Structure 1
Amino acid sequence: MNLMSLLVLSTILTIAIFMINLLMQSKPDMNKLSPYECGFDPFGSARSPMSIQFFLVAILFILFDLEIALLLPIPWSINTNSPNSTLTLAMTLIIVLTLGLLYEWLQGGLEWAE
């Protein structure tokens, strides 16, 4: 497939998706018209207590998201450094995070119903 046919195909696909979007009927309901989609009442009290489990799951998500960012350079590090030291450090990071998650799980920190 050469460049010209790729450009023509992508242009046709873009125009088709745009036309489908224009032809679709929008049926807004109360939830779609709400200014917030986070599940909280926007007109309620701003001082209402939040669930600790919500924050715990959010922090765990951020922690494991950062773990992926720390593990991404491993293939490049294996080529430049000793593969044994790179894999030892990577496995140490994974084991520490797994043990922390296991500890949190066994302590009941991930339970929603109390």
Structure 2
Amino acid sequence: MSPKCKNESERPWGHYEVLMQRPGYKVKILTVLPHSEISLQRHSHRSEHWHIVSGKGIVTKNESEIKVLAGDSVDFPVNEVHRVKNIDNENLVLVEIAQGNYLGEDDIVRLEDKYGRI
């Protein structure tokens, strides 16, 4: 799927759209394609809160794996290792609220990535 507007960015796993950004926080919607996953990552400057809107997935949170469904939420403090994998045949959609003193997309430390982006 190609980006629909200037606030949307395509990724190998799907796409995200920035809904709002203000000093100290950013709100995005991530759409993860069926059987795709984001990189295993952490952030040095921001925490994240994910709320699952639709779909089924597995969230990696440090050493734990958590099955998530629509209505579930997961929090990641600064530097916590995390990832989401879509385990369904439908898109997984989540709202991400990032908070911190720096919210740039270059604040991603990728630890594993099946798309070769390390």
**Range of TM-score over shorter length:** under 0.3
TM-score w.r.t. length of structure 1: 0.17
Could you say which structure has the higher strand fraction? 2
- Report the structure number with the largest CA radius of gyration: 1
Could you say which structure has the higher helix fraction? 1
Greater relative contact order: 1 or 2 (C-alpha under 8 angstroms, separation 6 or more)? Answer: 2
